[in-house]
Amino acid sequence: MPSSSTADCLLCIPEIADTEFQRARLWEDELWRLSAVLQGPVPGFAHLETKRHIPFITDLDGPEAATLGPVLARVTAALRDASGGEKTYVYVFGDRVPHLHLNLAPHRDGDALRGGPGLLEPGAEAAPRGTHERVAAAARDVLAGFDPTC
């Protein structure tokens, strides 16, 4: 159970976050957790979050800081490949949930993502849940046995 200082943090209790965001966990090690959101217009959209409560990226230190690069490179490639995307966008906000999490969004030409103001095309329709589940399962398979310290 989280300490009293993190008891109200949604991401410190991942089971609650999984339900709240309709997520499926794809991979984790002792420091990081990757979960795919199984709804919305972007199949493969995922959260990479620290297991330890770290409020913002500016607070990142220690072993999480040392492994962020290898972990991020591997999981973004897995999501890109699993979704058939060309790239995976990475962005960090944190005002709503002050626990370090990177939003990962695979992108293919012509999908709902766009550059510039706004992240989604206006009126973008949600992809079918089955598509989200297929992409999540494929990424989980690619990440099986991944150890960023090797």
Query: Where are the domains positioned within the chain?
Result: 10-108+125-143
- The answer to whether 50 and 67 are in contact (CB under 8 A) is no
CATH number, domain 10-108+125-143:
3.30.428.10
Beta bridge partners of 120: 113
Transcribe 20-76 into DSSP letters. HHTEEEEEE-SSEEEEEE-SSS-TT-EEEEESS---SGGG--HHHHHHHHHHHHHHH
* pLDDT of amino acid 117: 64
Q: What is the pLDDT of residues 72-118, one digit of tens each?
A: 999 999 999 999 999 999 999 877 889 999 999 999 988 998 776 67
* pLDDT of amino acid 126: 92
Distances from the Cα of 34 to the Cαs of 17, 29, 47, in angstroms? Answer: 12, 9, 6
